[in-house]
A and B are shown apart, each in its own frame.
Chain A
Amino acid sequence: MNAECGHPAPAASLADAVFAELAHALARLAETGEETVIDLRSLPFGPTDLEALAEKLGDGEVTCALEVAGRSEVRETGFAGVWWVRHFGAGDEIAAEEVHVTRIPEILVSHPDDVAFAARRIADAVAASPQNEPTAADEEDMSRG
């Protein structure tokens, strides 16, 4: 882009380095299914670096808002399989920020234990529902056939 005006290309930023790392990670996911997580808080990013990385990754089709021990946001980037995950803590400050290279981030998947617990709850709710008690009207309906 700078070639036209004769300027040298700018020095590679941390955003470029992470972008390149994500390219390798996404190739691994495509070929072997191996997942990768990059903790953005562990890298010495400046605010402009994070914006630059977000711009390179772009926006995808999926944005999820979670309300679990405070707010979380999960967003698929313009590259399928690359997800931007932000967890908010006290004062709605960002407590954790990660890029996940995966088909679906773990936090979106219902845990088997939660599913089992929910299955028991819904079965109890069905059993407790008044509609399951035979009423006079039900019996009349049945007798009519």
Chain B
Amino acid sequence: MADQKTLGERLAEHGVSRRAFVKYASWLGSLMALPPATSRAMAAELAKAKRQSVIWLSFQECTGCTESITRSKGPTLEDLIFDFISLDYHHTLQAASGEAIEAARHAAMAENKGKYVVVVDGSVPMKDGGIYSTTAGHSNYDTLMETVKDAFAVISVGTCAAFGGIPKANPNPTGAVSIGDLVKDKPVINIPGCPPIPEAMTGTVAYLLSFGKVPELDHLGRPKAFFGENIHDRCYRRPFYERGQFAHAFDDQGARDGWCLYELGCKGPITYNACATMKWNGGVSFPIQSGHGCLGCSEPDFWDKGGFYVPLSGSIGPTAKLVGGAALAGAVAGVAAAAVARHRKASLNKG
């Protein structure tokens, strides 16, 4: 837990030189579009930093965000982040349980008062006294508010923590809210996505650790370095959109030729994320490259935007706040989905 060694000293003990920091900072600086001088400063600061205490709280979530951040292929550049942090509490990864792990959380909070980072995945149920999700006999709300009290910053990982996500989808039976709806007196950084790109999560933690400050955020609290660009603008299929070449079914000639998926409901034009540039699984691919439109999973209420397979021009309906409108949008989505399904069936029969 508390550890007075610097990260440089820790790595040196494992036979890894300060070069690792130079390399890590080059990579991260490139991902975050930092000026080279800033990357160099980051390398120096990281080597001098102490391990960052991280308390990870899981509320109404599916653990997909943890899967994303821990899914990599061996001891590589991307894994160095796990040497830079001390993960003092995490339901899925911790070995301890029961009172011992709750005591560890309290100890980490006391030892790192004002300095620890709280990562949250999952939304918080507020209906009926928050009884729909509890840990150690406490509601998620109580655990969250107790834990963030002395935190330096809070990172909402995944769309559930950032915007309420799927638990908040209509009709939101548990009264789910985002972390930003509840935590008002600390910096809250949103890293949405279902799940988020691992580099966006680790990059943000490394930035906090190196510079002791929150990176520049957009109007939805997302780091601009990762969420500053539109999927559509950076999509390799964009030239087909410009030429008006659209796939109309997932198995038509247009789809086979890699044409634009706009008419199949791609939400790329309204989605800000780094999938089109950083891609997934070590840069292998991303949904559009695999032949499926973007679901817009890094945007608020992506689940309630009228249907994944409805073109944008017909799908941006109002959400929970306007029940009538939402119902109408749902009905439109249903009709359109049925139409797509019929079309697909017809195409299959032909094929």
**Distance between Cα atoms of A87 and B27 in the complex (Å):** 8
A106 contacts across to B, CB distance below 8 A: 22, 40, 43
CB proximity to A under 8 Å, residues B5-19: 8-9, 12, 16-19
Choose, from A13-21, A48-56, A91-99, A132-140, the stretch at the interface.
Answer: A91-99
**Distance between Cα atoms of A95 and B75 in the complex (Å):** 14
Among A37, A69, A114, contact of B36 (Cβ-Cβ < 8 Å): A37
Among B47, B77, B283, contact of A87 (Cβ-Cβ < 8 Å): B77
Q: Contact at A107–B19, with CB atoms within 8 Å? A: yes
Min CB distance, A30 to chain B, in Å?
Answer: 19
The chain B residue with its CB closest to the CB of A72 is B23
When each residue 221-235 of chain B gets 1 if its CB lies under 8 Å from chain A and 0 otherwise, what string results? 000000000000000
Q: Contact at B18–A113, with CB atoms within 8 Å? A: yes
**Distance between Cα atoms of A60 and B351 in the complex (Å):** 57
A41 is an interface residue with CB less than 8 A from chain B: yes
When each residue 156-195 of chain B gets 1 if its CB lies under 8 Å from chain A and 0 otherwise, what string results? 0000000000000000000000000000000000000000
Q: Contact at A90–B282, with CB atoms within 8 Å? A: yes
Q: Contact at B19–A68, with CB atoms within 8 Å? A: yes
Min CB distance, A95 to chain B, in Å?
Answer: 5
When each residue 29-42 of chain B gets 1 if its CB lies under 8 Å from chain A and 0 otherwise, what string results? 11001001001100
**Distance between Cα atoms of A117 and B26 in the complex (Å):** 24
The chain B residue with its CB closest to the CB of A90 is B282
Among B19, B23, B30, B283, contact of A93 (Cβ-Cβ < 8 Å): B283
With A89-B76, A90-B72, A106-B22 as contacts: A42 and B16 at CB distance below 8 Å: no
Give the interface centre of B33, B78, B80 by most chain A CB atoms within 10 Å: B78
Among B12, B73, B282, contact of A114 (Cβ-Cβ < 8 Å): B12
Min CB distance, B10 to chain A, in Å?
Answer: 11
Q: Contact at B73–A69, with CB atoms within 8 Å? A: no
A70 is an interface residue with CB less than 8 A from chain B: yes
Among A66, A89, A90, A91, contact of B19 (Cβ-Cβ < 8 Å): A66
With A89-B78, A96-B26 as contacts: A69 and B16 at CB distance below 8 Å: yes
Q: Contact at A95–B47, with CB atoms within 8 Å? A: no
CB proximity to A under 8 Å, residues B269-303: 281-284
A-B contacts at CB below 8 angstroms, number: 88
CB proximity to A under 8 Å, residues B301-334: none
A129 is an interface residue with CB less than 8 A from chain B: no
Min CB distance, B38 to chain A, in Å?
Answer: 11
A contact patch SS: mixed
B244 is an interface residue with CB less than 8 A from chain A: no
B249 is an interface residue with CB less than 8 A from chain A: no
Give the interface centre of A69, A72, A91, A110 by most chain B CB atoms within 10 Å: A69
Among B17, B76, B281, contact of A110 (Cβ-Cβ < 8 Å): B17
When each residue 57-101 of chain B gets 1 if its CB lies under 8 Å from chain A and 0 otherwise, what string results? 000000000000000111111111000000000000000000000
Give the interface centre of A41, A66, A88 by most chain B CB atoms within 10 Å: A41
B208 is an interface residue with CB less than 8 A from chain A: no
**Distance between Cα atoms of A39 and B38 in the complex (Å):** 13
B20 contacts across to A, CB distance below 8 A: 68-69
Q: Which 10 residue pairs of A and B lie closest in terms of their CB atoms, listed nearest first?
A: A37-B36, A111-B18, A90-B282, A91-B282, A89-B77, A96-B27, A107-B22, A96-B26, A70-B76, A68-B19
* 12 A-B contacts (beta carbon < 8 Å): A69-B20, A85-B26, A89-B27, A90-B73, A91-B73, A91-B282, A93-B283, A96-B29, A98-B26, A106-B22, A107-B19, A111-B8
A106-B22, A111-B47 are known; give 9 further A-B pairs, CB within 8 A.
A39-B29, A69-B77, A96-B23, A96-B26, A98-B30, A111-B8, A113-B12, A117-B9, A117-B12
